[in-house]
Every structure is written in C-alpha cells, then in structure tokens.
Homo-oligomer: A and B are copies of this chain.
Amino acid sequence: MKGNFIYSNPTKIYFGDDAQTNLATALAAFGKKVLLVYGGGSIKRNGIYDDVMKALADARKEVVELAGVMPNPTLDKLHEGCDVARRNDVDFILAVGGGSVIDYAKGVSVATWYDGDAWDNFWVQQHDPAADARIIPVGAVLTMAGTGSEMNGGSVITNTAAKMKLTKAFSDRVMPRFAIMNPRYTFSLPTYQLAAGIYDTFSHIMEQYFSGDDDSTSDYLAEGLMRSVIASSRVAVKDPKDYEARSNLMWSATWALNTLIGKGKRQDWMPHMIGKGISALTDATHGMTLSGIAVAYYRHIMPYGLPRFARFARNVWDIHCDGLSETQQAEAGIDALAAWIREIGAATDIASLGVTPDLIPAIADATILNGGGYKSLDRDDVVSILLASLPTN
C-alpha cells in the first residue's frame, strides 16, 4: 500500500449466541437515562425487545423509548429524536435494529446539542462535530447484517423535501461504544432482506476493491472477505437458520465497512452514489438498488481496470484462467458475479424496484459523481448504466 492513514476503531464487540447477556455490563459505564431507539416494532414480536428491557432493568437505567425509525431515516424523524433527547436530557442512546436505526442514533447523537443546522452543516457540508462538542454516546444491538453501521461512524439521512439521501462518516467519537451481535437475532429476517443485506455487504467490499492499482494488503483482505461472504451466502439462502453461515455473514458485514479494507488505498463508491439516487426517487430497498445496477456498472468500467477484474475472477471466484485473455478473465468474473446475484435472490434489474424509464433523468440528477472508480463517470455514463439496468442483467 502506498497511502498514509489513521486507523482508529474503538467499538467493543460482544459477538455470539449469548451476546445479549453482556448488555447490562456494557451499559454500566454510561449514565442513568437511556434513549431506546428502534424501528417498526418487529423486535417486540421476536423477543429481542424483552431481552433488551431486561438488561436495561438489570443495569438500573431509566428508559425513554423512541420507536418508528424507518428504513432510510428522514431529516424530520431526526429532528423529532433530537427534541426527545434534549427534553429528557438523556445520557446514552441505545439503538436496537439494523443499519437505519444505528445510523439514526448517530445522527441524534451529534445533532441534539448542536446549535446550527444539522442538515446543512453535517450532511451537506460534511463537517464533523468538534472534539469538544457535546455528543451523546451510542451503543447498538444489531438485528440485521449488512450496513456495517455497528462499527463505524457512518450515518445516512434522507431529506425528503430535497429528495437527497446523504452519508456522513463521523470520527471515532460517534462510533458505537459497543455493539451486541447475536447472529440468532437475524434469523427472523425475511429472505428478501437477507439477500439485500448480503449484497450490501458484498458491494461495500467491491467498492473499496475496484479502485487503485498498487499492491495493497487491504485488497487481499477484501478478497478473503468476499470469499467468505460467497461461501456463507450460499448456505444461508438455503437454510436461513444455519448459525455458522449467519454468523460469518454478520461478522463479514462489520469488517466490510469498518474502514479497515479501504485503508491506504483509493476507493470507488460510485454504485452507492447511483443506488442512493434510486432510493431518493423510489422506495427500493438499499441493497437491491446496488445489485440491480451492479452488472451494468461493472461491465461499463471493466475496460478501464482490466487487471483488477481479471484478479477478481481468479482470486475471488476461483476461475481457472489458463489460456484466457485478460479481457476474457475479466468477463468471466463479472459473469460469476451476475450468476451469484441471481442465486442469492438479490435484484438483477431496477425495473423490478419500481424504476421506470421516465425516472432515469431525475435519478441521474440525484446521483453524486465522485470520480473514485476506474472510470470517472459523467451524467451520460450514469444514464447508460441505468438504462442497461432496467431489464434483467
């Protein structure tokens, strides 16, 4: 690797089929008043809510509940959470859910005691709260694998009025202080969400891997993670209650996006930019927006990064490349990716996600062009990729 970097990731992870038994201990280091944040209430049906309330009682905490955090949490909901946190002067935020709920908790963490406009200053301007700014510490109980939010500083907030979905990567002060990760907590997830989470994880890895041309330890780690995700996904989609597979998927998702595999190297992130453009105009599930455009996107940039695509075929998909040209190797790798997307039940197109041809210009307008991948895309490239993604890839 050639790049310089700082790596800091102090989140303490309690992982395993008894992970929740550590929750009361993990909470002990923090203040008395806890804001409990969760989503639509599925945690009340699958027993997770009861586990959490028991731990909160064991730790003698006062609990303020804030439910109803939606997938793609909105700026309006963020303001509501800040009001509740401020009014109750909470000492800690415990997020119980998937990436949306944890992202939301980090948003409330930084915005509650901030005087300025959180949207303009944090999300649009990409500022980080100052080192002495008051934030509220966050902890997480993870119920869905994929986003990696449990061990990073990322927070994605959607401004419905402005039709913008923006990501902020806050520094390590805003990362969850701890995360409770019990793979069994993900067993009751619908298979559609399972597939979306698997592909989200895989896309995080690819979007760090498909950029740069130096020899970097980060890329070898990325290859290892991709191989693990592929192996476990094939087991999990057939038997969602296979503990070993769900456990690997949960842990791989964490390491796919806790900054490690992007250290010291260029990164891409263009699929996430296009995916967020789609999400701003439709209700589509995040992971599916990524798989829906993946094959068209990677075919589009492949000529500009042939050696890396050939390496992907050999090292990730175990394709025997003797006698194949570099282009043939690269194509075989993308073919393998396409077949696997189909195999795990992720979206193979964007028409099925509600994208109609007339929406494409607006999606292209909502797509931020970041120039990180092997080809620096312009708006026409994005339109081409979206058009090529309408039918099944």
| Residues of chain B with a CB closer than 8 A to A1's CB | 244, 247-248, 251
A264 to chain B, nearest CB (A): 7
Confirm or deny: A243 has a beta carbon within 8 angstroms of a beta carbon on chain B: yes
Confirm or deny: A192 has a beta carbon within 8 angstroms of a beta carbon on chain B: no
The segment from A217-225, A273-281, A381-389 that touches chain B is A217-225
**Alpha-carbon distance A247/B218, docked complex (angstroms):** 11
Q: Of residues 242 to 286 in A, which have CB atoms within 8 Å of B's CB atoms?
A: 243-245, 247-248, 251-252, 255, 260, 263-264
Q: Of residues 1 to 30 in A, which have CB atoms within 8 Å of B's CB atoms?
A: 1-10, 12-19, 22
Contacts A217-B225, A228-B217, A248-B216; is A243 near B2 (CB within 8 Å)?
yes
Contacts A223-B224, A247-B264; is A4 near B13 (CB within 8 Å)?
no
**Alpha-carbon distance A115/B235, docked complex (angstroms):** 53
- Contact indicator A7/B2 (Cβ below 8 Å): no
**Alpha-carbon distance A10/B2, docked complex (angstroms):** 24
Q: Which of B3, B13, B225 contacts A220 (CB 8 A)?
A: B225
**Alpha-carbon distance A215/B247, docked complex (angstroms):** 10
Nearest B-chain residue to A214, judged by Cβ: B244
**Alpha-carbon distance A68/B192, docked complex (angstroms):** 61
Contacts A215-B231, A220-B224, A220-B225; is A4 near B12 (CB within 8 Å)?
no
**Alpha-carbon distance A307/B150, docked complex (angstroms):** 34
Confirm or deny: A227 has a beta carbon within 8 angstroms of a beta carbon on chain B: yes
Confirm or deny: A232 has a beta carbon within 8 angstroms of a beta carbon on chain B: yes
| Residues of chain B with a CB closer than 8 A to A315's CB | 227
| Residues of chain B with a CB closer than 8 A to A224's CB | 220-225
**Alpha-carbon distance A4/B250, docked complex (angstroms):** 13
**Alpha-carbon distance A223/B216, docked complex (angstroms):** 14
| Residues of chain B with a CB closer than 8 A to A17's CB | 4
A284 to chain B, nearest CB (A): 28
Nearest B-chain residue to A13, judged by Cβ: B7
Identify which of A8, A15, A221, A228 gathers the most chain B CB atoms within 10 Å of its CB. A221
| Residues of chain B with a CB closer than 8 A to A5's CB | 13, 15-16
- Contact indicator A6/B2 (Cβ below 8 Å): no
A360 to chain B, nearest CB (A): 38
- Contact indicator A4/B15 (Cβ below 8 Å): yes
| Residues of chain B with a CB closer than 8 A to A2's CB | 243-244, 247
**Alpha-carbon distance A255/B255, docked complex (angstroms):** 13
Contacts A215-B231, A220-B228, A264-B247; is A15 near B19 (CB within 8 Å)?
no
**Alpha-carbon distance A55/B88, docked complex (angstroms):** 44
| Residues of chain B with a CB closer than 8 A to A220's CB | 224-225, 227-228, 231
**Alpha-carbon distance A3/B16, docked complex (angstroms):** 7
Q: Which of B222, B228, B251, B263 contacts A15 (CB 8 A)?
A: B263
**Alpha-carbon distance A244/B218, docked complex (angstroms):** 12
A358 to chain B, nearest CB (A): 43
A270 to chain B, nearest CB (A): 24
Chain A residues within CB distance 8 Å of chain B:
1-10, 12-19, 22, 172, 214-217, 220-225, 227-228, 231-232, 235, 243-245, 247-248, 251-252, 255, 260, 263-264, 315, 320
Minimum-distance CB pairs A-B, first 10: A4-B16, A224-B224, A220-B228, A220-B224, A10-B10, A8-B12, A7-B13, A217-B228, A217-B248, A221-B224
List 11 additional contacts besides A9-B10, A220-B231, A224-B224; criterion CB under 8 Å.
Answer: A4-B18, A8-B10, A8-B13, A12-B172, A15-B263, A15-B264, A217-B248, A220-B227, A221-B228, A247-B264, A251-B264
A-B contact pairs, 21 of them (CB 8 A): A1-B244, A2-B243, A2-B244, A4-B15, A5-B13, A5-B15, A7-B13, A9-B10, A15-B264, A215-B244, A215-B245, A215-B248, A217-B232, A220-B224, A220-B228, A221-B221, A221-B255, A223-B224, A224-B224, A224-B225, A320-B320
